Amino acid sequence: MTPEQLVREYLAAMEARDFIRARGLLAADFHMCFPGGRSFDSLEALAAWAAGRYRHVRKRFEGFDTVPLAAGVQGHAVVYCRGVMDGEALDGSPIDAVRFIDRFEVRDGRLVDQQVWNDLAEVGIGTR
């Protein structure tokens, strides 16, 4: 599986809330950092935090860029994923085309780090 395929598989599993499938793609030391500097080491902790921000979101991908991190080392790369998110806020209002970019580090065929930036706070999601 290429680094991009790994990221796509992980994001699909997370959208489906299939934590078992998603966890199988992660390194033991996987770490996530979300807007506001919120750091998580477990998928369940991330889901609990997200539940206080919105009912659901779905990402529409506009592109992926893969950057190898070590010449000649297969499977060590950074994958950038960008696009927009749609969904539903906690109050039932729509989330429509909110920009995001995710940065994933892949090592030895596993995800080791995810950094997330998005404009949800700019449209008032998670700040009420």
pLDDT average, residue stretch 113-117: 97
Strands 110-118 and 26-34: parallel
Alpha helices in 24-113 (DSSP H): 43-51
Give the dihedral sign, CA 46/80/20/118: positive
pLDDT tens string 52-73:
888 889 999 999 999 988 766 6
The pTM score is 0.89
Question: What's the confidence (pLDDT) of residue 72?
Answer: 64
- What pLDDT is recorded for position 128? 47
Q: What is the pLDDT of residues 86-100, one digit of tens each?
A: 999 888 989 999 999
- Walk me through the domains of the chain, giving residue ranges and CATH numbers: 3-123 (3.10.450.50)
Name the one residue in this structure whose structure tokens are 């090592």: 107
Percent pLDDT > 90 in the chain is 69
Q: How many CA atoms lie within 13 A of 88 on its CB side?
A: 5
Residue range 17-29, pLDDT digits in tens: 999 999 999 999 9
And the tokens for 92?
């039932």
* Most distant CA atoms of the chain, gap in Å: 50
